[in-house]
């Protein structure tokens, strides 16, 4: 309930006072609303996520496991966070509904992320849609995650095809994977510029520069 202290008996002055107090209240209410929206946008993650992108079979999981052990970081897989096994089969790479999938990811991260940890989150900037064509993940997803750095792994397509065949015994079209990898790299650069965060491309498994980045970050913190 609002309480107004009326110090004037003049009707005109009283109305002005009430109007000013109402305006102050509205400004305060709008400010609170903006703060709530801003907090929801950033998910209270405090920019403690390093996003590791790359297409299927590029080696994200292997690299994250190695680096998380070396630098005492927490490794998260986007597919595990959003519980992909609940909405599709393990080896299916096609996504029917991008929006609901990313909503599951953000919801899952909200439950996991804490301020006193730094995370390596391996995921994608593009995925295969229900027709099997590469498609960008909504920019909004990355604005909500707000990673402190973006790392994208790229690899020779023939190597990736061999890995995927050995992993899930599936055949993938060379041109589709090549197009997907180009889209992944270029779109990740766009997102890094939008967020004004570092962008590092790990080519053919050479993560030496990224390792230096982690060391410098470790020293700062």
Please report which residue ranges of the chain form alpha helices under DSSP H.
11-42, 60-71, 78-81, 98-112, 139-145, 157-168, 174-195, 208-220
Of 202, 187, 89, nearest to 137 by C-alpha is 187
- Predicted pLDDT of residue 126: 96
Which parts of the chain have pLDDT scores under 50? 1-9, 11, 14, 17-18, 21, 23, 25-26, 28-41, 44
Quick one: pLDDT at residue 216? 81
Per-residue pLDDT reduced to its tens digit, 90-105: 667 788 888 888 999 9
C-alpha–C-alpha distance, residues 197 and 186, integer Å:
15
Report the CATH number of the 45-220 domain.
3.40.50.300
Residue 21 and residue 28: Cα distance in Å, rounded? 11
Among candidate residues 105, 207, 84, 66, the one with its CA nearest the CA of residue 149: 207
Backbone dihedral angles phi then psi of residue 20, each to the nearest 5 degrees: -65, -40
The pLDDT value given to residue 8: 41
User: Domains of the chain: which residue ranges?
Assistant: 10-42, 45-220
Q: Name the 3-class secondary structure at 64.
A: helix
Three-state secondary-structure class, residue 59: coil
**pLDDT at residue 156 in the model:** 98
pLDDT at 101: 87
């Amino acid at each position: 309930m609002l309480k107004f202290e009326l110090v004037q008996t003049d009707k005109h002055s009283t109305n002005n006072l009430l109007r000013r107090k109402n305006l102050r209240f509205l400004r305060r209410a709008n400010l609170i609303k903006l703060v709530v929206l801003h907090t929801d946008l950033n998910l209270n993650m405090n920019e403690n996520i390093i996003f590791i992108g790359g297409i299927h079979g590029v080696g994200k999981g292997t690299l994250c496991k190695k680096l998380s052990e070396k630098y005492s970081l927490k490794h998260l897989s986007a597919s595990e966070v959003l519980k992909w096994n609940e909405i599709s089969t393990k080896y299916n790479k096609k996504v029917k509904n991008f929006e609901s999938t990313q909503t599951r990811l953000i919801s899952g991260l909200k439950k996991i992320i804490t301020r006193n940890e730094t995370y390596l989150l391996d995921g994608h900037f593009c995925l295969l849609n229900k027709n099997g064509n590469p498609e960008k993940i909504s920019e909004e997803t990355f604005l909500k995650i707000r990673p402190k750095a973006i790392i994208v792994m790229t690899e020779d397509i023939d190597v990736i095809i061999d890995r995927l065949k050995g992993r899930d015994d599936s055949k993938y079209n060379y041109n589709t994977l090549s197009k997907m990898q180009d889209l992944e790299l270029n779109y990740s650069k766009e997102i890094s510029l939008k967020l004004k965060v570092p962008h590092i491309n790990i080519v053919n498994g050479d993560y030496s520069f990224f390792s230096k980045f982690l060391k410098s970050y470790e020293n700062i913190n």
